[in-house]
Amino acid sequence: MSDKGKILIVEDEHRIARFLQMELQHEGFEAATEDNGRRAYDRIMQEDYDLILLDVMLPEMDGLTICQRVRELSDVPIIMLTARDEIDDKVKGLNIGADDYMTKPFATPELLARINVALRKRTRTEVREQSEGEVLRVKNLAMYTLRHEVMVGEESVELTKKEYDLLEMLLRNKRNVLTRDQILSDVWGYDYMGDTNVVDVYIRYLRQKLDDRFDEKYIYTMRGVGYVIKD
């Protein structure tokens, strides 16, 4: 096993596939080849690759279809390999979730550089997710539950304890409408004796700090029912 990473080269031109395999092995990667589209898809789904080099024109299943289907279930980095006259395919490749593309014929140093970028990007994402604990999201808003922080894009949002609890409840029930009573008992407790309007007041505070400030709609009012947060 190589510790630099395991790469699958999906390419039906054996000369190119073999060349890539040797170059990657020389760089310390574990490199396997596959020349059939359908088999490639099965292997990507069954085995644990760190990166896929994916040709577009392949027998049985083309590279764009493979990329699209893999993306439904996996975020393994994919670099599309396209022929010079497949410009449209490049664009499609990125739209369906490829991380990068290279036009054939390509220079090996450039391909290796792009492979390293794609692998580093993935490692950073994994490390970040491990250290942040659970992250609740809606649109461009993220709540990092471990460190009690709310971010909209790159900006941090200051919330009071009750505002935070209310937002967390909405996020945990994303797309489900919550009644005022549900919110009241969950966030303020069953023994809360104050005004039930407190829910509406705090929804207003949240909207000022989120919807108004970032000019985006997060919290929706369902008239006569309650509130819901959704994408």
Asked if 12 is part of the footprint of Ca ion (rule: CB under 5 A), the reply reads yes
Strand 219-222 relative to strand 226-229, pairing? antiparallel
Structure tokens at 60: 């049985």
Scanning 30-38, 55-63, 96-104, 214-222 for contacts with Ca ion by CB under 5 A, the matching segment is: 55-63
Residues 110-169 interacting with Ca ion (rule: CB under 5 A):
none
**Whole-number Å distance between alpha carbons of 49 and 2:** 12
Per-residue x/- mask for Ca ion, residues 161 to 180, rule CB under 5 A? Answer: --------------------
Instruction: State how far the alpha carbon of 17 is from the alpha carbons of 31, 84, 174, in Å.
Output: 10, 17, 46
Asked if 198 is part of the footprint of Ca ion (rule: CB under 5 A), the reply reads no
- Please identify, using beta-carbon distances, which residue of 57 and 112 lies nearer to Ca ion: 57
User: What's the count of helices (H) and strands (E) in the chain, helices before strands?
Assistant: 9, 12
CA angle 35, 40, 42 (to 5 degrees): 150
Please state the closest distance from residue 58 (CB atom) to Ca ion, in A: 6
Instruction: State how far the alpha carbon of 56 is from the alpha carbons of 62, 144, 208, in Å.
Output: 6, 39, 48
Asked if 55 is part of the footprint of Ca ion (rule: CB under 5 A), the reply reads yes
**Whole-number Å distance between alpha carbons of 97 and 72:** 9
Asked if 35 is part of the footprint of Ca ion (rule: CB under 5 A), the reply reads no
- Please identify, using beta-carbon distances, which residue of 90 and 122 lies nearer to Ca ion: 90
- Please identify, using beta-carbon distances, which residue of 66 and 119 lies nearer to Ca ion: 66
Scanning 26-34, 51-59, 105-113, 184-192 for contacts with Ca ion by CB under 5 A, the matching segment is: 51-59
Tell me which residue has its CB nearest to Ca ion: 57
**Whole-number Å distance between alpha carbons of 192 and 227:** 19
Q: Which of 57, 61, 117, 184 binds Ca ion (CB under 5 A)?
A: 57
- Please identify, using beta-carbon distances, which residue of 12 and 23 lies nearer to Ca ion: 12
Scanning 35-43, 50-58, 91-99, 177-185 for contacts with Ca ion by CB under 5 A, the matching segment is: 50-58
**Whole-number Å distance between alpha carbons of 214 and 169:** 21
Footprint on this chain of Ca ion (rule: CB under 5 A): 12, 55, 57
